[in-house]
Amino acid sequence: MNSNIFEKANQLIKNCTSAQLGVIDEAGYPSVSTISLIKPENLFEIYSSTGLCCNKAIRISKNSKASICICIEGNNITLVGDAKVLTDQESKSRFWLDWFIEHYEGGETDPNYVVIKFTTKRVSLWIDNESAEFTIDELLKVQSHCGALCDCCPYKESHGCPGCLALNGKPFWGECPVAICCINKGFKHCGECPDVPCEMLTEFSCGNHEHSDNPKGSRISVCKAWAGK
Ligand code: SF4
Ligand code: SF4
């Protein structure tokens, strides 16, 4: 798992309008149905809507365990986590889409209209012929100053590298200006910096070097996730 595949997953999700949602039915079996996604932004949280009296809402209320599968152009994203039915008006208004009127005559205040919030705990990815499995807790563990996911770096074993944070800005290839800048400013990682992404981090992440991110900006996204931004 590296920051690139995390960002690829986020980019795929952003362009996705539907997915498969699996919930647990009354007999304890998984029950899968197609859902429309509401403004998906990343793999941490997914939103959809349903009717308050529909099977999905009833089943989620009894058992929050759920899974979402997104399949796009041969790529696959499977998320495992917990679903919740949101009935508060603030959430209903925030996630209302104009075309919902076809299903809920009363509009965003229709008592039958509710929002499903899915919170991811575990992720399985197959993207561009690369696979990755990780938990959200593992992803959110700060592993570097710049947003690189050092724990899964192939150089860790081959070069006996203890990881970015233990190196105090002096990895095996020299002195890292991003790490030094972060340390000097008293930040654990760039996500804590008000200037993120500064010119230097942008060059590291989005430049055209051998070790730049692909897609560009991957480690900036990880930094922001670490900072909860
Ligand atoms: S580029 Fe610098 S800050 Fe990023 S992981 Fe490597 S040493 Fe750490
Ligand atoms: S975002 Fe840029 S300025 Fe801020 S700590 Fe990181 S490298 Fe330094």
Residue 148 beta carbon below 6 angstroms from any ligand 1 atom: yes
List the residue whose alpha carbon is closest to atom 8 of ligand 1.
164
Ligand 1 midpoint to CA 81 (Å): 31
How far apart are alpha carbons 61 and 85 in whole angstroms? 7
Return the closest-CA partner of residue 52 out of 117, 116, 100: 116
Give the number of the atom of ligand 2 that is nearest the alpha carbon of residue 194: 4
How far apart are alpha carbons 48 and 21 in whole angstroms? 10
Residue 177 beta carbon below 6 angstroms from any ligand 2 atom: no
Name beta bridge partners: 134: 123
Ligand 1 midpoint to CA 145 (Å): 6
List the residue whose alpha carbon is closest to atom 6 of ligand 2.
190
Residue 189 beta carbon below 6 angstroms from any ligand 1 atom: no
Superfamily of domain 3-137: Electron Transport, Fmn-binding Protein; Chain A (2.30.110.10)
One digit per residue, pLDDT tens: the chain, 229 residues? 788 899 999 999 999 999 999 999 999 999 999 999 999 999 999 999 999 999 999 999 999 999 999 999 899 999 999 999 999 999 999 999 999 999 999 999 999 999 999 999 999 999 999 999 999 999 999 999 999 998 878 778 888 888 899 999 898 888 999 999 999 999 999 999 999 999 999 999 999 888 889 899 999 999 999 999 8
Buried-exposed string 52-64: b where 16+ CB fall within 10 A, e elsewhere: eeeebbbbbeeeb
Domain boundaries, the chain: 3-137, 142-226
How far apart are alpha carbons 120 and 134 in whole angstroms? 11
Give the number of the atom of ligand 1 that is nearest the alpha carbon of residue 165: 8
Q: Would the CA dihedral through 192, 139, 217, 211 be positive or negative?
A: positive
* pTM above threshold 0.85: yes
For a substitution probing ligand 1, which of 164, 187, 189, 193 has the most ligand atoms within 8 Å of its CB?
A: 164
The structure tokens listed for 138 are 């593992």
Tell how strand 113-127 and strand 75-86 pair up. antiparallel
Ligand 2 midpoint to CA 176 (Å): 12
Residue 178 beta carbon below 6 angstroms from any ligand 1 atom: yes
